[in-house]
Amino acid sequence: MRHSAENNQNSEYKIIVVDDEIGIIDSLSIFLKRSGYNFTGVTNPLEAIERVRNEHFDLMLLDFIMTPIHGDQVIEEIRKFNKELYILLLTGHKDLAPPLETIRKYDIQGYCEKSDKFDQLLLLVESGIKSIAQMKLIKKINTELKDTYEQLEKSYMESIEVLRQTVDAKDPYTRGHSDRVSDYSVLIGKKLGLDERDIRTLKIGGLFHDIGKIGVPDNILLKPGKLTDDEYSEIKNHPSIGAHILSTATIFADLIPIVKHHHERYDGNGYPSKLKGNEIPYLARIAAVADTYDAMTSKRPYRDALSLDVVKSEIKRCSGTQFDPEIAKVFLDLLENNYDEIEKIQNSYY
């Protein structure tokens, strides 16, 4: 019963044997089929390359010295399109074994001297199949982990969309503004050469930098005229409120520095924490420039949008006081040399 079960398991694995001697093919066919393996024999090495290209095989037994090409040339071609095939070389004599550098170069898993007895070869094949089984298991686990991650990512993005809708319902201005701040921040981040994770954090952090406005009274948030000092103090609470909202879920942890500190100033006179210079989280410093640019270039009930020349002058003037000078310089360079990208963002949300 055990032998039958092992044979059934072995039948899951496809082995291709390549040797220009038909007698070797026939002998190995009997030997491997008896062990339950799914067997294919090929005498032409060029045909073997095409078979591997077009069919799935788990393991290859390959003669080293053949015509019209040798085994190492077969492997060289196969490795151009298949890195996973487990390959064992067969040699007619130990003096004809492939050099070690060839084995390493072409990722050959082993070699065996031909013999009338196949005991050693069987051990190598069984060892190879165990390795292949482990590779398949690892692949399966990776696929399952990827599927799980994609589900988590989907849930994450769905949570973000719920928050977006909540903010939009509170303040109709916020949606266009937050989208643009997100896109400007990404543009700056890419110009600064940030990695993919930081770019993603900038994108989502920009979308929710103003989420704390949910906690600001409507009569203040939607007031068409100038705010009183008390009303402005209420508005200034929104970064802390936003950080508190997001702190309830660990998946939003990376966003909190942007949400809480995008109104800090480089000179330490911002809010809510009066952080100064490099004390301010780097991504928050980027979002601060993007946020201010959009505020200046957006039409408000109490003023028109500022002209590009005025905006550039303000960013230059506030470099080193309100803004990180390095980030301000990069953004000014974008305004000078890549304004079409910025203008495209501006126009896409109106």
The arithmetic mean of pLDDT across residues 118-125, rounded, is 83
Highest mean pLDDT among 11-20, 170-179, 222-231, 321-330: 321-330
Are residues 339 and 211 part of one domain? yes
Are residues 85 and 193 part of one domain? no
Distance from C-alpha of 129 to C-alpha of 60, rounded to nearest angstrom = 11
Residue where a domain terminates, one of 133, 151, 184: 133
**Residue 52, in any domain of the structure:** yes
Are residues 335 and 188 part of one domain? yes
**Residue 35, in any domain of the structure:** yes
Check if 213 is active-site.
yes
Catalytic residue among 114, 170, 213, 260: 213
**At a CB cut-off of 8 Å and minimum separation 6, what does 102 contact?**
72, 108
Q: What residues pair up with 40 in beta bridges, in sequence order?
A: 16
The arithmetic mean of pLDDT across residues 66-95, rounded, is 87
Are residues 311 and 183 part of one domain? yes
Token representation of residue 299: 């039409």
**Residue 140, in any domain of the structure:** no
pLDDT tens readout for residues 152-196: 778 777 776 777 677 666 666 656 888 899 999 999 999 999 999
pLDDT at 219: 80
Are residues 50 and 110 part of one domain? yes
**Residue 138, in any domain of the structure:** no
Query: pTM surpassing 0.75?
Result: no
* DSSP 8-class letter at 321: T
- Domain harbouring 217, CATH code: 1.10.3210.10
Count of CB atoms situated within 10 Å of the CB of 307: 11
Are residues 187 and 336 part of one domain? yes
Highest mean pLDDT among 84-88, 241-245, 286-290: 286-290
**Residue 315, in any domain of the structure:** yes
More confident residue, 82 or 123: 82
For the cut 90, the answer to whether the pLDDT of residue 95 exceeds it is: no
How many domains, in total, are found in the chain?
2
Instruction: Give the up-direction half-sphere exposure of residue 296: CA atoms within 13 A in the CB hemisphere.
Output: 16
Are residues 324 and 222 part of one domain? yes
Sequence-separated contacts (24+) of 341-349 with Cβ below 8 Å = 341/187, 342/184, 342/187, 345/180, 345/183, 345/184, 345/187, 346/180, 346/297, 349/175, 349/176, 349/179, 349/180
Distance from C-alpha of 72 to C-alpha of 106, rounded to nearest angstrom = 8
3-state helix, strand, coil in the chain (%, to 5): 65, 10, 30
Q: Quick one: pLDDT band at residue 350, thresholds 50, 70, 90?
A: low
Are residues 112 and 237 part of one domain? no
Distance from C-alpha of 55 to C-alpha of 78, rounded to nearest angstrom = 12
pLDDT at 1: 45
pLDDT at 317: 97
Q: How high is the mean pLDDT of the chain? A: 86
**Residue 186, in any domain of the structure:** yes
The arithmetic mean of pLDDT across residues 313-323, rounded, is 97
Angle at alpha carbon of residue 80, lines to 121 and 9, rounded to 5°:
40
**Residue 142, in any domain of the structure:** no
Token representation of residue 7: 């044979």
Q: Quick one: pLDDT band at residue 2, thresholds 50, 70, 90?
A: very low
**At a CB cut-off of 8 Å and minimum separation 6, what does 133 contact?**
none
Q: Quick one: pLDDT band at residue 94, thresholds 50, 70, 90?
A: low
For the cut 80, the answer to whether the pLDDT of residue 222 exceeds it is: no
Containing structural domain, residue 94: 2-133
**Residue 22, in any domain of the structure:** yes
Sign, CA torsion 213/217/220/222: positive
Highest mean pLDDT among 26-35, 116-125, 141-150, 194-203: 194-203
Overall residue count recorded for the chain in this entry: 350
- Domain harbouring 51, CATH code: 3.40.50.2300
Distance from C-alpha of 60 to C-alpha of 125, rounded to nearest angstrom = 9
The arithmetic mean of pLDDT across residues 13-25, rounded, is 93
Q: Quick one: pLDDT band at residue 119, thresholds 50, 70, 90?
A: confident
Closest to 296 (Cα-Cα) out of 186, 214, 181:
181
Phi, psi angles (nearest 5°) of residue 248: -75, -10
Are residues 215 and 277 part of one domain? yes
For the cut 60, the answer to whether the pLDDT of residue 90 exceeds it is: yes
Residue with tokens 């006179």: 269
Instruction: Give the up-direction half-sphere exposure of residue 173: CA atoms within 13 A in the CB hemisphere.
Output: 14
Are residues 123 and 178 part of one domain? no
* DSSP 8-class letter at 90: E
Sign, CA torsion 191/194/196/198: negative
